[in-house]
Amino acid sequence: MIRLSSATLDALPADVIRPTYDRAAVKAGVVHLGIGAFHRAHQAVLFDDVLNAGDLRWGIVAASLRSPAVREQMAPQHGLYTMLVRDGSSEQARVIGAVQRVIVAPEEPRALLAALASPETHIVTLTITEKGYKLDPATGALIEEDAQLAADLVSLESPQTAPGYLVAALAMRKAAGRLPFTAISCDNLPHNGTRLRNAVLALARRHDPALADWIAEEGAFSETMVDRIVPATTEEDIAALSTRLGVRGVPIEDRAMVKTEPFIQWVIEDRFCGPRPDFAAGVQVTAAVAPWEEAKLRLLNGSHSGIAYLGALAGIEHVHEVLALPEARMFVETLWDEAQTTLSPPPELDVAAYRKELMARFDNPTLRHRTRQIAMDGSQKLPQRLLATIAARLAAGQGIEALSLGVAAWVRWQAGQDDLGESHKVDDPLAGAIAACLADASTVGERVDAILGFDAVVPPALATNGDFRASLIHWLAILETQGARVALATFHGEK
């Protein structure tokens, strides 16, 4: 099959938007670690906007830290891929040209280090998922017993982790008399910049205290809030796009395509230690990111996780299908009511309007965002999405019914079977540890106590809270005996 590439770009149908700049003249000002679909539909698009506006310093050298899959999709396409924006009724196709090259780190560690240390590189962005930072989800401390991190603590000759790559490359920059790069974490973690900085400084200090001091002094780790819903691409999506891109009945295949919604937002802390692009619409550079980050994590991601576990348990495949149930909508609205009182939203954020827009985004029927995709890595997500909100509500003497139903659904998901009796793999770096902690618990109460004692996820303030415990027992008992649909109906009835 003919592939999308520099050679076929001009042949695409006229309504496909494509780069307006000369790709050969672009410099790689950005190195990105973790080139998944989210990066391709978010930061890469916003850098593509900058390139389209004529500033050619901001091309991207991207890296996969583990698998060669994305390089195999993108290299034959010269880094080109299509972003499909689906608004629920129509679809717009745009080819993004910002990614110049994909490096598979385990195969070419030197090439990645050279890119990171290059004088052309000014910004390093990361989407390595919550678990990539090697920090304890509950406390934020470095997980020294992690095998990859342990290797990086011994030697940075061929780094294994993202913090390891950053430290090794910063050492090269220091030795060459260059400034550090601005490191921008784009993962859904509270204070993501500070967490990344902590991980990098802790690792650097173990190897070379002077390097750590230099990074602390000269470097910049901006906090960010990133927002765009990017469901995993399916083979059907690729097949449909091949026909859409085809010329005179001959399909053109794009194996690196991404599908997403119209909404896009990137709030970046105004903390750079070198050049930065003049970003276009969709990017806000601001002094304080935390209020944005907290609102997004607790409203969007908190409800997303609740919808994901309840929906997946009920055997419902997609987010918009869960929200077709009136009791699920009510659950989400109540979860938002609960979360909202814990926020200090920035003045520019109209929370009521944000909630309305969010529900419409979740309702988008053409995104087909799978509940099981969002259910992944729950141990890394729950602390900032639901547990911190619960702790704040309890401290204020407020109720937590919707939030704790969400947590109970996560606990139920750990059993590896949905309400229809279908088995699933719990896709989570702590799946084994959670299963071991639940293994000897034979009653609902014992299971809740076991989870409350699981301190990698549950913070101390919640571990001993009687109201939280009672609420989890209430919901877990219903989930285990009657399933998620009845739990949602009961929730509706109790309101």
73-97: string of b/e by CB count within 10 Å (b at 16+)?
A: bbeebbbbbbbbbbeeeeeebebbb
Tracing tokens 């195969």 back to the chain, one arrives at 107
Pick between residue 189 and residue 241 the one whose CB is nearest to ligand CS2.
Answer: 189
Q: Looking at the DSSP assignment, which residues form a beta bridge with residue 103?
A: 63
**Contact set for ligand CS2, span 178-197 (CB under 6 A):** 188
- Residue of closest CB approach to ligand CS2: 304
d(CA 257, CA 21): 20
Strand (E) or helix (H) holding 224: strand 224-227
Residue closer to ligand CS2, measured from CB, 39 or 228: 228
Q: Write down the least CB distance from residue 381 to ligand CS2, Å.
A: 6
229 vs 325, beta carbon nearer ligand CS2: 229
Least distance from C-beta 360 to ligand CS2, angstroms?
14
Residue 318 makes contact with ligand CS2 by CB under 6 A = no
| Tokens 């042949």 -> residue | 11
Q: Which of 301, 340, 366, 490 binds ligand CS2 (CB under 6 A)?
A: 301
Q: How far is the CB of 229 from ligand CS2 (least distance, A)?
A: 4
Are 311 and 261 in contact, with CB atoms under 8 Å apart? no
Q: Which is nearer to ligand CS2, 115 or 375 (CB)?
A: 375
Q: Residue 366: count other Cβ atoms within 10 Å of its Cβ.
A: 14
Q: Closer CB to ligand CS2, residue 35 or residue 212?
A: 35
Residue 307 binds ligand CS2 (CB under 6 A): no
Q: For the CB of residue 194, give the shortest distance to ligand CS2 in the complex, in Å.
A: 19
- 2's enclosing H/E stretch is strand 2-3
Residues in binding contact with ligand CS2, number by CB under 6 A:
10
* Residue 157 DSSP code: S
Q: Give the residue among 463, 464, 377, 466 at the shortest CA–CA distance from 413.
A: 377
CB of 111 to ligand CS2, least distance (A): 29
Provide the Cα torsion 168, 174, 180, 183; round to 10°: 10
Q: Judged by CB, which is closer to ligand CS2: 300, or 386?
A: 300
CA distance 478 to 39: 39
Instruction: Please state, in angstroms and rounded to a whole number, the distance separating the CA atoms of residues 246 and 160.
Output: 41
| 276 or 304: CB nearest ligand CS2 | 304
3-state secondary structure of 133: helix
Q: How far is the CB of 174 from ligand CS2 (least distance, A)?
A: 34
Task: Please pick, from the candidates 32, 173, 195, 304, the single residue that binds ligand CS2 as defined by CB under 6 A.
Answer: 304
**CB of 376 vs ligand CS2, minimal distance in Å:** 7
Q: Specify the long-range contacts of residues 202-208, CB closer than 8 Å, at least 24 apart.
A: 202/142, 203/142, 203/149, 203/152, 203/153, 203/163, 203/164, 203/167, 204/167, 204/170, 204/171, 206/153, 207/156, 207/167, 207/171, 208/171
Q: Site map for ligand CS2, 109-138, x if CB under 6 A?
A: ------------------------------
How close are the terminal C-alpha atoms of the chain, in Å?
56
Mark 330-369 with x for binding to ligand CS2 (rule: CB under 6 A) and - for no binding.
Answer: ----------------------------------------
> Measured between alpha carbons, how far is residue 435 from residues 156, 239, 426 in Å?
33, 39, 9
Nearer to ligand CS2, 228 or 393 (CB): 228
Draw the binding track, 229-248, toward ligand CS2 (x: CB under 6 A; -: no contact): x-------------------
Cβ count near 438 (within 10 Å): 16
Q: Which stretch binds ligand CS2 (CB under 6 A): 251-259, 285-293, 328-336, 373-381?
A: 373-381
Residue number, 4 or 230, with CB nearest to ligand CS2: 230
Candidates 80-88, 296-304, 402-410, 453-461; binding stretch for ligand CS2 (CB under 6 A): 296-304
Smallest separation (angstroms) from ligand CS2 to the CB of 282:
13
Ramachandran category for residue 377: left, alpha or beta (phi over 0 → left; psi -120 to 50 → alpha)? left
CA–CA gap between residue 34 and residue 129 (Å, rounded): 8
Cα–Cα distance list, 13 to 17, 95, 103, 244, 379 (Å): 9, 11, 30, 8, 45
Residues 203-232 that bind ligand CS2 (CB under 6 A): 227-229
CB 98 to ligand CS2: min, Å: 20
Between 121 and 379, CB nearer to ligand CS2: 379
Site for ligand CS2 contains 374 (CB under 6 A): yes
Contacts with ligand CS2, residue ranges (CB under 6 A): 188, 227-229, 300-301, 304, 373-374, 381
